[in-house]
Chain A
């Protein structure tokens, strides 16, 4: 596609439920990043994929968070047993050449706004 897309744009769930957030990167981009942006804050790094593998997942806050990218394109961020503190905008970004990290330009999607009631 023309840009990074994320679905859904908004997700409202109840505390304790499971959610999946989807990211469709720019075609041909091998690097994919997930960030979390809380209200009034800048994006916070969660995880980085090179192709199918998670090259750096040090930003995942705990084991309730998990992400996959099975075919090296679309990625899904999964959150188990959601908590109210998980409410935030989840951003996805992709870049063309992972060997140029961190200088390679990241292209961001519009985000998924997650609200946990």
Chain B
């Protein structure tokens, strides 16, 4: 069975501050891990994905995530938050034909 847990349904950061969104996974097989972003009234957009290559994955818009097997984590970070980063972020794990999404983290950026 596979699942992801996102810690913190709401995160607020100041503009220019570090963004850290947490995701822990559970998987009985080597996982494929994803981060998606959802802007209001838009579809989910892939930020980055881990597919068993490099453990540090760089994505779009300056985001990156590090796969840590020992911690079963795949946290999303960005060094400096922009106002345009305000959105809902979803972590997901892929297995078989299915993807299992977390419950999401809403990011607010304070000017």
| Of A4, A59, A105, the contact of B98 (CB 8 Å cutoff) | A59
**Closest chain B residue, CB of each to CB of A101:** B97
Besides the known contacts A56-B96, A108-B45, 18 further A-B residue pairs in the complex with CB atoms under 8 A apart: A3-B43, A41-B103, A41-B104, A42-B92, A42-B102, A45-B99, A58-B98, A91-B43, A93-B44, A101-B96, A101-B97, A102-B95, A102-B97, A103-B49, A107-B43, A108-B44, A109-B43, A110-B43
Q: How far is the CB of B42 from chain A (nearest CB, A)?
A: 6
Q: How far is the CA of A93 from the CA of B42 in the complex (A)?
A: 13
Knowing A56-B96, A102-B99, the reply to whether A43 touches B90 (Cβ < 8 A) is yes
B43 touches A108 (CB 8 A): yes
Knowing A42-B92, A103-B32, A103-B51, the reply to whether A91 touches B99 (Cβ < 8 A) is no
- Confirm or deny: A97 has a beta carbon within 8 angstroms of a beta carbon on chain B: no
- Confirm or deny: B18 has a beta carbon within 8 angstroms of a beta carbon on chain A: no
- Confirm or deny: B110 has a beta carbon within 8 angstroms of a beta carbon on chain A: no
Q: How many residues of A contact B (CB 8 A)?
A: 27
Knowing A4-B43, A109-B43, the reply to whether A48 touches B103 (Cβ < 8 A) is no
Chain B interface residue bracket vs A: 20 to 34
A56 touches B97 (CB 8 A): yes
Which residues of chain B have C-beta atoms less than 8 A from A109's C-beta?
A: 43
Knowing A102-B95, A103-B94, the reply to whether A110 touches B100 (Cβ < 8 A) is no
Q: Mark A89-108, 1 if CB is under 8 A from B, else 0.
A: 00101000000011101111
- Confirm or deny: B17 has a beta carbon within 8 angstroms of a beta carbon on chain A: no
CB within 8 Å of B: which A51-109 residues: 55-56, 58-59, 91, 93, 101-103, 105-109
